Amino acid sequence: MKTTTKLVLLGTAALAGVGLSRRQRAMANVAEELRGPQLMVPLPPLRSGRTLQVMRRTFTRPSAIAEGVEMRALTARADGAERRVLVYERPDRVRPSGALLWIHGGGYVMGAPEVENEVCSRIALDLGVLVVNVSYRLAPEHPFPAGLDDCYTALAWLHEQADELGIDPDRVAIGGASAGGGMAASLAQMAHDRGGPAVSFQVLVYPMLDDRTVQRPVDALVWNNRSNAFAWGAYLGHPAGQPDERPWAVPARRADLTGLPPAWIGVGDIDLFHDEDVEYARRLQEAGVPCELHVEPGMYHGADAIAGKVDSMRAFRTRMVAVLGEALTPRVTT
């Protein structure tokens, strides 16, 4: 049976399980321009290894690379470790430029850097910076801290090879969407605690920050709490919501956020991660960390990827890129 057929059957079964009327009520909260038939047949919730394998095969198609951007695959080596990375840049990039380490989404259990070619190449094109998109190991085969260690390797490599890559080590930002945003938040904490490599800014797009959300009686479109519980459990190696004192495993569990890099957090008001993202932004601000929070009305999880041509989603991404561009602009001293 083809993967797409399996996905439709699994989604249809999920729809029967949650009830069509409940789905229709949830749709009423979606911004009108973001409503579409694709939301009426939900993604199957992650609940087993079988479902995960189907989802992995489905969501690995590379997205397009923006015209005028060159992409090449390299091997990032640092501290005896190595990872594959994709590097995007304009041929006319002015060196040294700022750089962005981008971490792909997928609930810590699926996804691939090629899936996010479009967003990475668009940032490289619009801002004239170097963008590095890291391939990290996925759970449950490789639970925490494997994937985070891979991202740290890529960050260290960026700094160690700054001259060769033509980047300013004082202007290296990190970011990602969903689990990629959560991994970026953890990476910012790890780098801070280890005394480097330096991170100048973190851009967190509806980040997956807190496993304790699975304990709340809430649900949402696209990424629901059932999938959330499975993914966190796979990543942490124990059921989501249980105590976990390991540094950087769950970024929202960190008690002291003082000294972390400035941040931008963007999330929809009907996203499952809305409350945890708003709370993390509030705590960053209270800790003295500059943090801009943008909450998009009627936006479900991943809507900018699913309905990227809609005006509001174009504006959402434009806002994110503009903030990142400001953060990576050289500071003029007098």
Positions marked catalytic: 178, 271, 301
DSSP 39: G
For 299, half-sphere exposure in the C-beta direction (CA atoms, 13 angstrom radius) is 28
Structure tokens at 94: 């002015």
Q: CA angle 24-29-31, nearest 5°? A: 115
Sheet holding 81-89, edge to edge: 70-78, 81-89, 130-134, 97-103, 167-177, 201-205, 263-268, 291-296
For 9, half-sphere exposure in the C-beta direction (CA atoms, 13 angstrom radius) is 8
**φ and ψ at 219, to 5 degrees?**
-150, 175
For 234, half-sphere exposure in the C-beta direction (CA atoms, 13 angstrom radius) is 24
